[in-house]
A and B are shown apart, each in its own frame.
Chain A
Amino acid sequence: MICAAVLFTSCYSVRLTSTHGAPNPCQSGIDCLEDAGNFYRDKRVIVLDTVIKSGIMTDDIGIRTQREGCESGKLFSVEYKNTLGGALLYLVTFGNKRKVKIKYVCMKPEN
């Protein structure tokens, strides 16, 4: 049981970060996600953690930035997390359900 829990949640993540532009800041205690990890300290991170029902004919899935917390509409960093559970879900549903876990930070709005 424990082994299964570990296997299904075991994962790795990869993050792509821009070398230009300033990240959208947040204020601890107000709009920061406190447990998001060191990289996200003081950055306004948006987390997408969902299962998308796509249908077996669907090739790719596109996701757009949201306005709340991403007024600039420009990306500073994107982190994609891969889990064994997500991969298995994809396999057993023949691609019908896709686990998506993305964290992204937008650019700070310019004035």
Chain B
Amino acid sequence: MAKTTSHQVSSWDTLHNNGPFDLRLLQRTKLEGKSNIPSEIGRYNDASDEIQRLIQEALDHNEGFRAYGARWSMSSIAHQKDRMHYNVFMNLDLDISQEDLHVSSSYESANLFFFQCGNTIKEISQKLQSYGKSLKTSGASNGQTIAGCISTGVHGSALDVGSVQDYVVGLNLITGPNPEDVVYIERSTKPALGDSFAQKIKARVIRDDDMFNAALVSLGSFGFIHGVVIEAEDIFLLKRYVKKIDKNTALKLARTMDFKNSSFSIDGETDANGKPKRPYHYKVFINPYTNEQEYVVEAMYKKPYTDLYPDPFTTIEKSVYKDLIYLLIKISEKFPKSIPWFIKQLQEQILPDVNEESLGTLYETFWDAPYQGPAFACSFGVDIKDSEKALNVLIDLTKDEGPIPGIYAMRFVKKSDATLAFSKFPITCMIEIDGVLWKKSRKLMSLKEFSRRMIQVLQQNDIPFTIHWGKNSDWDFPDLVSDMYGSNSEEWKKQRSILLSKEMAALFSNDFLQTIGLYTKEEDVPTEDLIASL
């Protein structure tokens, strides 16, 4: 049997110290060893039984239950005050063969992989590489678990690809303690796996586009995500360039994504007509406190894979003294006017080196991000056509009412089909400010106040926006979610109430969900029968 250890604790925190948050019980499950259960499916189903047992236990105590992985989210989305389950040791992967495909599947079996929830992006990438495959995209680093990524909408800057959830084609959820509460969900219009595979993992099949799209970015609230089916692609290389280019050119590209007719051209990255190629990835870095006429941009172009390329890892790494950053932030709290100067001094550590070039796989390019102390990040999604206007509005706020110890960046993500994906525009520009976590002082507003002002100035300037679920914000801002998602937020709630019983809807909720108005105990939406429609 998989074994769970339970620890009585008093608090829990995110990786970046955005808490602490109250917690009573922390649970951690380790799978049964291969020597006792040699079959991977056997161990997977054994883990499923164990999770159902834990759910029943939480239910018996009238308590909430929530899974978490690498705890990279800076918002309180992963937190539950009663019981939290640490799932990173649940890292099985199951083989998918041609026989496992649905008869109407348009996927190639060689591209489909089934991963248990606790697999990190790094583990998945290594597994895929051993098959000559790669993820289509990832976040800026690789430590998040797959379940955490899709629950919060982790994205990179692959402008024509999308976010992590966009290559997920099937979900295995545990929605309660009973046998029928193990479900396998996929789209009815694009099925991936046949019922025979679902039977192997003892799951009831739900083929429904609306349900699948709602459950994709579930905010961890559609049950325990036990496994996901992803579609990978053939392994590729990314040629990465860092350039300093005219600010107006960088922002025009952000607004239009029209690379072909841009003056931004890199030798060797042009088509047969000499026009610039469209990159796989485009990112703009902005120091809000300098008035430079040039911005640092990062562009990456996809290349066919060959193993004949130089080692992309630098051999020697150095990092700034933790105490130095701590000292700078303490000074900043007392003397906020020093922040622009500090950022200028740390710019070399924060920004990539201009004219840097590298070649590597997706795994090698978006490698480990070292923890560098308590941090914050606020990230807004806007339609690319509004990107320059939104950036200017936010920079003005940061300078006029700050300064805030952070630096801006813009990344670009293709629209997602997920009901509550913040990448909801045809191409979403994610404008993000990342920096060192500070404490409110007499001269420096709090992170929550800054977040509130960001929302207000975007609203005042009529710029439609979304907010990254895993980042810092003033999440109890009035009508925030309905303003961002309109009827989609109601659709998400409806699908959740169809999937979960009232008891389970309460069990899989948390303060975050209540704060943003996506769960209220009083709600009573009639359930519908859902059966496999194919």
Interface set of A (CB-CB < 8 Å, partner B): 19-22, 25, 27-30, 37-39, 41-42, 108-111
Contacts and interface: CB of A to CB of B under 8 A. Distances in A.
A111 B319 contact: no
A23 to B, nearest CB: 9
A41 B26 contact: no
Interface stretch (B106-114, B120-128, B446-454, B457-465): B120-128
B319 A38 contact: yes
Nearest to B28: A27
Contacts of A108: 88-89, 91, 123
Contacts of B313: 19
B236 interface: no
A20 B92 contact: no
Interface in B79-108: 86, 88-92
Contacts of B92: 111
B13 A28 contact: yes
A23 B313 CA distance: 17
B344 interface: no
A39 B7 contact: no
B11 interface: yes
B251 interface: no
B7 A30 contact: yes
Nearest to A37: B322
A61 B452 CA distance: 59
B372 interface: yes
B373 interface: yes
Contacts of B309: none
A28 B26 CA distance: 11
Given A19-B313, A30-B26, A39 B370 contact: yes
A20 B371 contact: no
A60 to B, nearest CB: 25
A9 B364 CA distance: 37
Contacts of A22: 120, 122-123, 126
B26 A27 contact: yes
Interface of B: 7, 9, 11-13, 15, 26, 28, 31, 34, 40, 43, 70-71, 86, 88-92, 116, 120, 122-123, 126, 313, 319, 322, 364, 367, 370-373
Contacts of A27: 26, 28, 86
Contacts of A111: 31, 34, 40, 43, 89-92, 116
Nearest to A20: B126
Nearest to A41: B371
Contacts of B34: 111
A29 B371 contact: no
A12 to B, nearest CB: 12
B26 A29 contact: yes
A42 B26 contact: no
Contacts of A25: 70, 88-89
Nearest to B91: A111
B176 to A, nearest CB: 25
B11 A29 contact: yes
A38 B372 contact: yes
A27 B313 CA distance: 28
Contacts of A21: 126
Contact of B70 (A19, A42, A109): A42
B91 A29 contact: no
A38 B373 contact: yes
A108 B43 CA distance: 18
A42 B371 contact: yes
Contacts of B120: 22
A109 B371 contact: no
26 contacts: A19-B364, A20-B126, A22-B120, A22-B123, A22-B126, A25-B88, A25-B89, A27-B28, A29-B12, A30-B26, A30-B28, A37-B322, A38-B322, A38-B370, A38-B372, A39-B370, A39-B371, A41-B15, A41-B371, A42-B70, A42-B71, A42-B371, A108-B88, A111-B89, A111-B90, A111-B92
